[in-house]
């Protein structure tokens, strides 16, 4: 199972992806904005991430690797985790290789992942938490329709920095996604 957009393929991880994962997640500027990426980041860390993502694929987790079609390269990952079909909820996490920032790739990947979550998985709400100082991710969540729901003080440690940060909490309801989707697709046509 894979999702396809104009420039990207979102697909199940493969063991052979490890080099691209080390290049992307191994960058301190990526790792420091996440809770779960250690730094330095070695081949064994990428292999653990890949094996774990494959093992849990389609159970309570979908970790899509983001392949850039033009380079046949993995430039990031976007995950739906804690998928709870009874409650209709999941939480999300993502990163993009720094070399590819600010080119709309995460927005494009999120459109596909959100469609998958709300249409195929029939969820009704996505949760996301972002460090308060993470300008890029706060902007990305709001752009795709997430609503700010509050701030948790001294909430989560980053493995890369070892420091504990405040986190913004966001929620995306299915009805808000429908509106945001129309807006995003209109912007793309301009």
Query: Can you give the binding site for ligand COA, defined by CB under 6 A?
Result: 30, 33-34, 94-96, 101-107, 130, 134-137, 139-140, 143
- Give least dist CB 72 to ligand COA, A: 18
What own/partner pairs with CB < 8 Å and gap ≥ 24 does 150-155 have? 155/129
The helix/strand/coil state of 96 is strand
> Nearer to ligand COA by C-beta: 122 or 148?
148
How far apart CA 50 and CA 61 sit, in angstroms, is 13
Beta carbon of residue 17, minimum distance to ligand COA (angstroms, whole number)? 17
Question: Which CB, 37 or 50, lies closer to ligand COA?
Answer: 37
Q: Which helix (H) or strand (E) holds 128?
A: strand 125-131
Q: State in angstroms the smallest separation of the CB of 22 from ligand COA.
A: 15
* Residue closer to ligand COA, measured from CB, 59 or 102: 102
Nearer to ligand COA, 37 or 123 (CB): 37
Distances, alpha carbon 190 to alpha carbons 14, 27, 107, 109, in Å? 36, 33, 16, 19
**Which structure tokens are listed for 41?**
């980041």
Tokens 């609503």 belong to residue: 147
Q: How far is the CB of 83 from ligand COA (least distance, A)?
A: 18
């Amino acid at each position: 199972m894979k999702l396809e957009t104009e420039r990207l393929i979102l697909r199940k991880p493969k063991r052979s992806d490890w080099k691209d994962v080390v290049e992307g997640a191994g960058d301190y500027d990526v790792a420091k904005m996440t809770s779960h990426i250690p730094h330095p980041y070695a081949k064994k860390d990428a292999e653990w991430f890949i094996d774990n993502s494959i093992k849990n694929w389609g159970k309570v987790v979908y970790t899509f690797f983001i392949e850039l079609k033009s380079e046949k390269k993995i430039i990031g990952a976007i995950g739906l985790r804690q998928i709870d079909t009874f409650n209709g909820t999941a939480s999300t996490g993502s990163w993009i290789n720094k070399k590819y920032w600010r080119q709309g790739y995460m927005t494009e990947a999120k459109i596909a992942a959100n469609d998958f979550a709300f249409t195929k998985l029939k969820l009704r709400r996505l949760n996301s938490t972002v460090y308060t100082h993470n300008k890029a991710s706060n902007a990305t969540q709001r752009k795709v329709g997430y609503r700010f729901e509050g701030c948790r003080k001294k909430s989560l440690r980053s493995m890369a920095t070892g420091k504990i940060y405040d986190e913004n909490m966001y929620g995306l309801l299915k009805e808000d996604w429908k509106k945001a989707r129309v807006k995003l697709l209109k912007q793309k046509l301009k």
